[in-house]
Amino acid sequence: MGLFTELKDSISRATDRLFSEQEPKRIGIYGPPNAGKTTLANRIARDWTGDAIGAESHVPHETRRARRKENVEIERDGKTVTIDIVDTPGVTTKVDYEEFTDEMGEEDAIRRSREATEGVAEAMHWLREDVDGVIYVLDSAEDPITQVNTMLIGIIESRDLPVLIFANKIDLDESSVKRIEDAFPQHKTVPLSAKEGDNMDEVYDSIADYFG
């Protein structure tokens, strides 16, 4: 009986090592510009690693290159889920330099629009090739029925990737989570405010459940 117990414990330890040595799943944070993707990525990274991922700004396309935070360990109900967070540039069908001219000179605006366009292409590459799951962030104060959202959700579904929709900015008076739920009823929608930290327990529960 003692030999059987030792053998079972040995197998259990080997199995634990096997699963612990598996590479973390790469979870891409996607959505349109200014939905709060980097704010969310920073919130998750700070909560579990103490470090931020990137700069936040009200100016569209602040994130123009994908940024990755590796080995983020999220603990829920005695279970640890390890993921790599990929904060991607906001995806849009058109980047016009004139949308930046209120914040900077024309030359800088043109450069920013060029970098933002390259960032969109990079985000699409990650989505098609290099992510294992998606957190799709929407501004709950905006209409979710757009060409970009419909296209990206369609691509995610065609790749059969697990996806969570996060209805961000619930701290705003004009927020409507139901509008997002009605737009994409086939996917779970989690309300939150990444800026204020509202409802982050459900956020982490959902991440552990979907991507663990």
Q: Mapped to the 3 state alphabet, what secondary structure does 147-196 carry?
A: HHHHHHHHHHHHCCCCEEEEEECCCCCCCCHHHHHHHCCCCCEEECECCC
Q: What are phi and psi of 60, to 5 degrees?
A: -60, 150
* CATH code for residues 23-211: 3.40.50.300
Closest CA to 207 of 49, 70, 20, 76: 76
pLDDT of amino acid 61: 43
Q: What are phi and psi of 43, to 5 degrees?
A: -60, -50
Residue 33 pLDDT class (50, 70, 90 cuts)? confident
Domains of the chain, by residue range, sit at 23-211
- Token reading at 73: 């360990």
DSSP H stretches of helix in 71-105: none
pTM of the model: 0.75
Mean pLDDT calculated for residue range 187-203: 97
Cα 66 → chain centroid: 11
The pLDDT of residue 151 is above 90: no
- Token reading at 132: 């294992």
pLDDT of amino acid 148: 87
Q: Kindly state the helix (H) or strand (E) to which residue 59 belongs, with its residue range.
A: none
Provide the Cα torsion 40, 43, 49, 50; round to 10°. 140
Greater pLDDT, 53 or 37? 37
pLDDT of amino acid 204: 97
Mean pLDDT, rounded, of the chain: 80
| Burial call 88-123: b when 16+ CB within 10 Å, e when fewer | bbbbbeebebebbeeeeeeeebeebbeebbebbeeb
Find all residues with CB under 8 Å of 82, minimum gap 6, and list them.
24, 25, 71, 72, 73, 74
Q: Kindly state the helix (H) or strand (E) to which residue 211 belongs, with its residue range.
A: helix 200-211
